[in-house]
Chain A
């Protein structure tokens, strides 16, 4: 069964460093998303991406964040200068536009 894969599963980084979280969406999907879940809180939408551009973003997704689909298979989330409050589980999801989004297992980001 096709699935969304995310790497790494856990990333520890120092405050101020740049991190790139990687996702391989399901191959025939066209819509891609990043969500985050701060420990003990709800899952929050960050950004959606379609046709090689951002289609929607939340107020959380500020200038420190960027997304890219560099090679037609990977979908990445970059945080330019990490802050302590960026520590969270980050989920990638993809959809073929037919209502159901498939989620990856998540990357746990810990900023120290």
Chain B
């Protein structure tokens, strides 16, 4: 069985500040981990993913995440927030190599203050 916990349903940062969105997972098999972003009234867009290999993965829009097996975490970071980063962010886990069936966390709404 797999599950994802995102700590903090809402995070607010100032423009230019560090963004840190937390994600912890549980998986009985080696996990594949994903971060998706959802802008208002839009679909889900893949930010980045971890499958195997390098544990620090870089994604679009300056985001990156680090897979820490010992901590079962996959936190999302961005050094400097931009107003356009305001959105809902979802962490997801998959245990298969077929993409698709994803187990999502509850989501974290990111607000960016000017």
Chain A residues within CB distance 8 Å of chain B: 31, 33, 35, 41-45, 48, 56, 91, 93-106
Contact = CB atoms under 8 A, between A and B. Distances in A.
Given A99-B98, A99-B99, A100-B46, 10 more contacts: A42-B104, A43-B90, A45-B102, A48-B100, A91-B43, A95-B99, A99-B97, A100-B99, A101-B99, A105-B43
A31 B100 contact: yes
A77 B102 CA distance: 18
Interface residues of B, number: 23
Contacts of B101: 33, 45, 48, 56
A97 B99 contact: yes
B103 to A, nearest CB: 7
A70 to B, nearest CB: 20
Interface in B41-68: 42-46, 49, 51
Nearest to A89: B43
Contacts of B102: 35, 43, 45, 101
